């Protein structure tokens, strides 16, 4: 019998109680205690299990056939990379990924579908979330943990008399991702509409991964420049000084699209030799023009009670200008907060292990 695994791989993953704590399931054996040049020999095999001994040392391990078979498969796609996503243009979306808040709370299948939409499409809308202050935090807590920042646990998006951020004016805001000046960035943003404007203030979404995949096809040179050039961003006010530098298109170790950052308002000039800076700006111009194409922009209007959940590493959000004067509907008022994809992915994986959505039970994402 020949095992398709190196001896060191098998030895490091021995499931016996000396090598793995039976209570926590966590590993005890250390790589540095495993000798170089280890040899594994199969001493017994049944349909369920394989028994192996190692030389030197004579340690004995029993592996289940099912476990070995599962690990012969190609690795699961990184749930954060383009490989686990359904890239979209607005024309592809026959209906918005959405769910009713009451159904989402009552039914694990609805919740799993909604969270799966955030993973695959990069966003989902919950409808009918009570339009009361602070509910955006309750929504985040259904799948993860609120990421508190210098803006607070939650932030109010409405017109302010002396705004620290253009978000707190009635101006149009072009498609962007939030907080590229943080490292790590908040990977999820929630926006809950309490009151909308009589006119304007519509929301726009752009699939940044779909756009980046298009750029890779149409202008490989610009794509390569953007994925290899760290670009600094900054936010500053009287109490805060945040700065981070990362490529506008971030790739996984496998070279796959894994995150985008795009925010003209907070971008700093990159400090590069003139020729490199010139190439970086040329690529940035191409990328910005692509992201600004109207056919990539999904427009929707958040009604009071709608809560948008967005993957902030992938989907850019925008809003149209709106009228700031009081009207019969009152002034536009949204509340937002940040959370993270790891918590959402964990919640979704637990729901899947419990069999949701039905028919896909047990498959970890």
Q: Hey, which bits of the chain come out as E strands?
A: 39-45, 49-55, 60-64, 98-100, 123-127, 155-157, 173-176, 188-195, 203-207, 231-237, 240-246, 249-251, 257-260, 298-300, 307-311, 315-319, 333-339
Q: Pick the piece of the chain touching Fe ion (CB under 5 A) from 20-28, 47-55, 156-164, 172-180.
A: 172-180
207 is a site residue for Fe ion (CB under 5 A): no
The residue whose Cβ lies closest to Fe ion is 178
Report the candidate in 321, 266, 320, 322 with the shortest Cα–Cα distance to residue 297.
320
- Biggest CA–CA distance in the chain, Å, is 82
Q: Pick the piece of the chain touching Fe ion (CB under 5 A) from 101-109, 144-152, 171-179, 242-250.
A: 171-179
Residue indicated by tokens 């009081």: 326
Minimum gap (Å) between residue 183 Cβ and Fe ion: 18
Minimum gap (Å) between residue 168 Cβ and Fe ion: 11
308 or 351: CB nearest Fe ion: 308
- Binding residues for Fe ion, how many (CB under 5 A)? 1
Minimum gap (Å) between residue 167 Cβ and Fe ion: 6
Contacts of 56 (CB under 8 A, 6+ apart): 35, 38
Write the binding mask 177 to 206 for Fe ion: x where contact by CB under 5 A, - elsewhere. -x----------------------------
| Cross-strand pairs, 244 | 233
12 or 171: CB nearest Fe ion: 171
Q: Pick the piece of the chain touching Fe ion (CB under 5 A) from 91-99, 125-133, 176-184, 279-287.
A: 176-184
Yes or no: say if 342 and 186 are a contact pair by the CB < 8 Å rule: no
Residues at the contact surface with Fe ion, assessed by CB under 5 A: 178
């Amino acid at each position: 019998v020949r095992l398709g695994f190196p001896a060191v791989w098998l030895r490091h993953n021995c499931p016996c109680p000396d090598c793995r704590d039976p209570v926590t399931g966590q590993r005890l054996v250390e790589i540095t205690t495993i000798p170089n040049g280890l040899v594994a020999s199969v001493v017994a095999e049944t349909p369920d299990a394989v028994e192996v001994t190692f030389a030197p040392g004579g340690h004995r391990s029993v592996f289940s056939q099912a476990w070995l078979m599962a690990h012969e498969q190609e690795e699961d796609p990184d749930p954060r990379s383009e490989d686990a996503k359904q890239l979209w243009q607005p024309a592809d979306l026959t209906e918005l990924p959405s769910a009713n808040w009451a159904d989402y709370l009552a039914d694990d299948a609805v919740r799993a579908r909604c969270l799966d939409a955030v993973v695959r499409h990069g966003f989902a809308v919950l409808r009918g979330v009570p339009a009361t202050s602070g509910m955006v935090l309750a929504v985040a807590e259904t799948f993860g943990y609120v990421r508190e920042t210098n803006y607070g646990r939650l932030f109010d998006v409405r017109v302010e008399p002396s705004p620290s951020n253009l978000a707190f004016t009635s101006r149009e805001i072009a498609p962007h991702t939030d907080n590229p000046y943080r490292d790590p960035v908040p990977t999820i943003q929630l926006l809950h509409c309490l009151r909308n404007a009589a006119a304007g203030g519509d929301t726009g979404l752009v699939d940044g991964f779909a756009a980046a995949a298009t750029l890779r096809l149409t202008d490989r040179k610009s794509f390569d420049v953007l994925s290899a050039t760290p670009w600094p961003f900054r936010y500053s006010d009287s109490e805060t000084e945040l700065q981070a530098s990362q490529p506008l298109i971030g790739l996984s170790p496998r070279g796959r699209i894994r995150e985008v950052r795009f925010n003209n308002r907070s971008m700093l000039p990159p400090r590069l030799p003139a020729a490199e800076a010139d190439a970086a700006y040329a690529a940035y111009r191409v990328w910005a023009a692509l992201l600004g194409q109207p056919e990539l922009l999904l427009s929707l209007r958040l009604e009071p009670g709608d809560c948008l959940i967005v993957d902030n590493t992938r989907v850019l959000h925008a809003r149209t200008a709106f009228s700031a004067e009081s009207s019969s509907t009152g002034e536009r008022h949204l509340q937002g907060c940040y959370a993270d994809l790891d918590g959402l992915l964990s919640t979704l994986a637990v729901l899947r292990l419990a069999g949701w959505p039905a028919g896909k039970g047990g498959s970890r994402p």
